[in-house]
Copies of this chain bind each other. A is one copy, B any other.
């Protein structure tokens, strides 16, 4: 009887969430003690409880009733919505950040492709060498906004000129990264790249980010503010926030439907409500959702890694790939920055700040894995690269950015 009950419990969704949250807390506390970012702790503990070591939990989306992947997705959406809420859209999307973002996409993609062609053996039956190389390049493209913003926030320089340029470039980078994924996926599917599809994707993506952001800020903030006023008057103080949240989920849906990632939509929605008079309130509420679900996202990234699958040869490739990941962002972003008149030190910082790949590389890698474009081993290598760039960036950035004077964002002082 007791055995049956224990079996019942372990298979339960709510128990899996219990386990994930407990592990997330433990790892965060441990890593905070040693002044390391909690995100890294969560991914590493995810590796420990996942199939690599303990095998306590699986995030296989094929398992019926397994909702952990959806809760993880919700976590990523909440994270980017929160970061969007902290951004001033006008100071973010500039010509400078556009050029720096573009440089930071092209250089890593091209270099990643050649590195894979140079170092990797043929992946074997059922795979295609060219497609795999294109995908390794694609995985080097997208910067993790979360890590970058987190470090800048921690250093108290989120309002500085270089920080704004960096955030804007990271957004441009995300959007271009999705285009790179579309091209890579088109190439790999063997159906080739449909130019009309690509034109559509470009148009839709630009329309969505630019116009969606603009109309959202002009119209939707007013709708939400009106809902909030009516709600407050009738004792429903949550109304405005729920409305903003449902718009964030809608933007995530549209974003995904036109081929961008759901989190890009969530971020755009966040930037909309960053201009809303209830921004501070929404920020506080979103933070609670982010606390609960974002750790599930980061843990599940670790759970997805199976270290046992990585051979010693792959480890070497992971280290080289990490080096290339840094070098290509420093060159791809730093050189345009320097040409556009930024100081040598700032240009270097910018390149390093754009280096963490993390979750977006992993999303791309996961796409490649589930579509049989890359092998499980290459998947693990890419995840490892994402992890290593994220682990090293904060401490390097703290050194190169030491001289930037403290300039917190306006809303941060309000929020705190």
Contacts and interface: CB of A to CB of B under 8 A. Distances in A.
A62 to B, nearest CB: 9
Contacts of A200: 1
A242 B32 contact: no
A379 interface: no
A64 interface: yes
Contacts of A5: 257-258
A253 B12 contact: yes
Interface stretch (A23-31, A124-132, A168-176, A178-186): A23-31
Interface in A9-31: 9, 12-15, 17-19, 21-22, 24-25, 28-29
A291 interface: yes
Contact of A288 (B38, B243, B285): B285
Contacts of A197: 1
A378 interface: no
A28 B227 CA distance: 11
B292 A245 contact: yes
B33 A234 contact: yes
Contacts of A25: 227, 231, 239, 242-243, 246
**Copies of this chain:** 2
Contacts of A22: 243, 246
A236 interface: yes
Contacts of A9: 253-254, 257
Contacts of A291: 238, 241-242, 285
Interface in A284-323: 285, 288-289, 291-292, 295
A15 B227 contact: no
Nearest to A64: B64
A247 interface: yes
B29 A249 contact: no
Interface in A247-306: 247, 249-250, 252-254, 256-258, 262, 285, 288-289, 291-292, 295
A399 B289 CA distance: 36
A409 interface: no
Contact of A250 (B15, B67, B245, B254): B15
14 contacts: A8-B256, A8-B257, A9-B257, A12-B257, A13-B70, A14-B256, A15-B250, A18-B247, A18-B249, A21-B243, A29-B231, A64-B64, A242-B292, A289-B292
Given A12-B257, A18-B250, A32-B235, 12 more contacts: A1-B200, A8-B257, A14-B252, A15-B249, A15-B253, A18-B253, A21-B245, A25-B246, A29-B227, A241-B291, A285-B291, A288-B288
Q: In the A-B complex, list the 5 residue pairs whose CB atoms are closest, starting with the nearest.
A: A32-B234, A21-B246, A238-B291, A288-B288, A15-B253
